[in-house]
Each structure stands twice: as C-alpha cells, then as structure tokens.
Homo-oligomer: A and B are copies of this chain.
Amino acid sequence: MNMNEKTVKKTNIYSGSIIKLDLHEVVLQNDRPASREIITHPGGVAVIPVSENRTVSFVKQFRKPYDTEILEIPAGKLERGEDPEACARRELKEETGLTACSIQFLTQMYPSPGYTDEVVHIYLGTGLTEGDTSRDEDEFMEVCRYTLDEALEMALSGQIRDAKTLIAVLMAKQLLG
C-alpha cells in the first residue's frame, strides 16, 4: 500500500518561543480532503544516567500541562543546529551536575505522532563523575536517585509516567539486565 497525505494548503496559526502550530489541508489516498493540526517542535534529548552501582539519577519538576511535579530523566530541547549527543551531555551536567564518560545512543522516540513532529533522542550515560549543577535561574528541579530495579518497579507500577523516562528505564533494564 502506498500511503500518503499531500498538503494542498498550509496555514500558520501560531509561532511561539518553543512550538509552532500549522493547519494543513491535505488530500487522502481516496482523494478526499482532510485537515491536520500539526505542531512543529525543535526536538529534544534525554539521558538516563546509570552509575557503576546501578543508581539512576532523575529530576523532579513542575509541569504546567499536568499542574503537578513529575519524575523524568534529565532532558532538554535542542538548540538550533546543536548535535544531540552534545546537547545530552550539556543537559545532564546542567540539571544533575553529572558528567558521563560514555554516552550510548538508545533510540529516537516520537512522542505523539498524530499531531507533533517532535523527535526525542534518548541516551544512556555511564562512567559518571559528580560536579556542580548549572541550571537557568528560572529552572526549578530536584535530583532524585533510585536503583535501576526500583526505577523498573516504578515504571511498571505507574509511578513513572513520562514517555521518554519509561522508555529509557525499560531499555536500560533490557541492556544492563
């Protein structure tokens, strides 16, 4: 099957500091028209830092869309033209103070392919050295540490709900056993 949706008209609804929203009028495979609401996002990175004794460092931060604090692995948005691995190292250091000797690529993840083009590059960070954090002055978060097995239990029991964090914990467990 050759699937496709050709855009015949694109209208920009919003161009903000992080996201852009466009309305696409498309033609489906049956030649019928449809509309697609599409968010353009710069993409991001996330890194699961696992120490030699299998301790995983997370960050807890307030997320306005859910009006609550949630537990995530260190992550951030890509700057324009930034290398994802360099961005992962930068965000890890800024948010947790950790420097990783090894950064291993795990996967590229599509958070919600129906309406956003965001891609999250996920890494495993090992060979960790502790240092100082350097968060933006408007960035509030708390570092929380759990063993990889505790983190797996938290993923399976619904205490971890963030997509990139669930994927990183489950993949790290597959890889590290």
Write the residues of chain A forming the contact surface with B, with a CB cutoff of 8 angstroms: 1, 3-5, 7, 13-14, 16-19, 21, 23-24, 26, 28-30, 32, 34-39, 41, 60-66, 69-70, 72, 77, 107-118, 120, 137-138, 140, 142, 152, 155-156, 158, 161-164, 166-167, 170-171, 173-175
Picked from B7, B70, B108, B114, the residue with its CB within 8 Å of the CB of A113 is B70
Report how far A29 CA is from B62 CA in the complex, Å.
10
Q: A174–B152 contact, CB under 8 A?
A: yes
Closest 5 A/B residue pairs (Cβ) = A170-B170, A3-B62, A65-B117, A111-B111, A163-B163
CB distance from A59 to the nearest CB of B (A): 11
Q: Give the number of copies in the complex.
A: 2
With both chains docked as a complex, state the minimum distance between the C-beta of A90 and any C-beta of chain B, in angstroms: 17
